[in-house]
Amino acid sequence: MKKIFTIILLATFSAAVFSQESNKQLLQLEKYLEELDFGVSHQQTNCGGSTNIRHTWRAGFYETTQKIPVDEGLSEEKRKQYQAYHDKFIAKRWQNLEHAVDSVRLAFARLSKESSKSYLFEDHKDGTDTIKYALAFARSDGRVPYLYEEKKSNRAEFWGAQEAASFNFDKNFDSQGQFFVGKGSYEHVYEIETGLTWENDMKSFDIEAFRALIQPVINPLLSLKGAKTYPVYWRHDVGYEDEVGINGGLTHKTTSYGKNATGQGLTTGTVYFIPAQYEAEAEALYKQLDSLTYAYVNQHPEQPYIYNYSKGYSRYNLEEIVEGVKYHDDDNYSLRSYCSDDGFFILSLTTKGDIWIPSDWPKLKSWINGEKVYLKGMKPKDKKK
C-alpha cells in the first residue's frame, strides 16, 4: 500500500512541477543580467538539505579600473591603439555593471512591497559603495524566513524561505588606493515542495537505468568517421600527494563530502569523442542528452541529483549536465561534457569517494596516483634538452 501511495505521489509531483513558477520579476532581472554579459547559472537539485526541489540562479560581478600593462616591444602607435581599445572595453564593462546594479536596485525595491520580509541597505562614501539587499517569500505552511548576515564577507540573505533573493556588492579602492574594484554576487533560490522524506521515500540514483536511457542517442554518432570511445580509470589513494589546485595543478579535485572527504577516490566510466567537423551532430546530441536528463530527474524526485541548466559544451571546464548524488553508501554518477579544437566529449562516470580529474584526461587511458597510461598516439614527446 505504501509503495502504491509513493507512486501516486511521484506521478502527482511530476505533473505539478511544471505548473509552479518562480517570481517573474526576478526571472526578467536574470534575463537582463545575461544580456549585459554577466553569466547567470541555473541549477536544480533535491539534495540541498531537504528533499524539496531547489532551483538556484547565481551571477557574479567583478570589474576593475586597473590598467593592463602594454607590451613594451610594440610600437608607439600599436601601444596607443591597444590602450585605447582596452580603455573602451573597461568603460563598457563598468557601464554594464552600473546598469546591472540599477536594475537590481529597482527590482528589489518593487518586490520588497510584495515579499514577506525584505532588507535593503546601502552605504556610499568617497566613491566607495556597500550594498546589501535581501528579500524572501514565506512558505505555504506559514514559516517565516530569517535574516542571516555574514559580517566577515559583508553579506546578507534570508534562510528558510519558499523563495528568496539576495544581492551583495562592494566597490572600493584597492589596498594602495590606485584603482577601483567592484565585486559582488546575486543569488535567487526557489523551492518546490515534494512531500517526500529522505529516510522513507528517497532511494539510489538508478545509474543503470539512466545509462540505458541515454545510450541509444549516443550510439548512432559512434559510426561517424573518427568518433571513438575509451575507458576512464582515475584512482587516487589515501596518502598520495600531488600538485593539486581547485582551479589548476596536475589534478583537479571535486567532492560532495566536505570535511568528511578522505582523499580517496576511484572514477570509472566511458569517454565518447566526436571529431570537430561534426559540430552540428555533436550539438544535436547534447540537446538530446540534456532533454532526456531533464525529463528523467523531474520524473524521479525520489532519486538524489544535481541538474545544471546549460546551453551546450564548454571550452573551459569539464561541465556537469547531471550528478546522481550519493545516497547512503552508493556511488556517485555524473554525465559531463567538454569541447576543444579537436572535437566534442561526453563522459559517463561513476565515482566511489572523491573525484580526482587529471588535467590531461582527454589523452589518458588511466591515471593511478600520478602514474599515467596514455591512449595510443597521445603520449607527449619528450622535450629536447
More confident residue, 93 or 70: 93
Higher pLDDT, 371 or 14: 371
Average pLDDT over residues 160-167: 94
d(CA 7, CA 4): 5
pLDDT of residue 261: 52
Phi and psi at 286, nearest 5°, equal -60, -45
Give the percent of the chain with pLDDT over 90.
60
Compute the distance between CA of residue 262 and CA of residue 381 in angstroms, rounded to an integer: 35
pLDDT per position as a tens digit, 127-162:
889 999 999 998 878 787 888 887 767 788 998 899
Burial of 94 (0-12, 13-18, 19+ CB in 10 A): middle
Helix axes 279-299, 2-16, angle to 10 degrees: 130
- 319-327's contacts with Cβ under 8 Å and 24+ in sequence apart are 321/289, 321/290, 321/293, 322/293, 322/297, 323/256, 324/205, 324/206, 324/207, 324/210, 325/45, 325/47, 325/205, 325/256, 326/256, 326/257, 327/202, 327/203, 327/204, 327/205, 327/303
Q: pTM (2 decimals)?
A: 0.86
33, 108, 208, 385 from 322: Cα distances, Å: 25, 32, 15, 45
3-state secondary structure of 61: strand
**Does pLDDT of 365 surpass 80?**
yes
Pairing of strands 228-236, 265-275: antiparallel
CA distance 109 to 118: 9
Q: Are strands 146-150 and 244-245 parallel, antiparallel or unpaired?
A: unpaired
DSSP state for residue 227 in the 8-state scheme? -
353 burial (CB, 10 Å; 0-12 / 13-18 / 19+) is buried
Average pLDDT, the chain: 86
User: Angle at CA 266, nearest 5°, toward 265 and 270?
Assistant: 140
Q: What is the pLDDT of residue 383?
A: 54
* Cα–Cα distance, 216 to 206 (Å, whole number): 17
Query: What's the confidence (pLDDT) of residue 187?
Result: 97
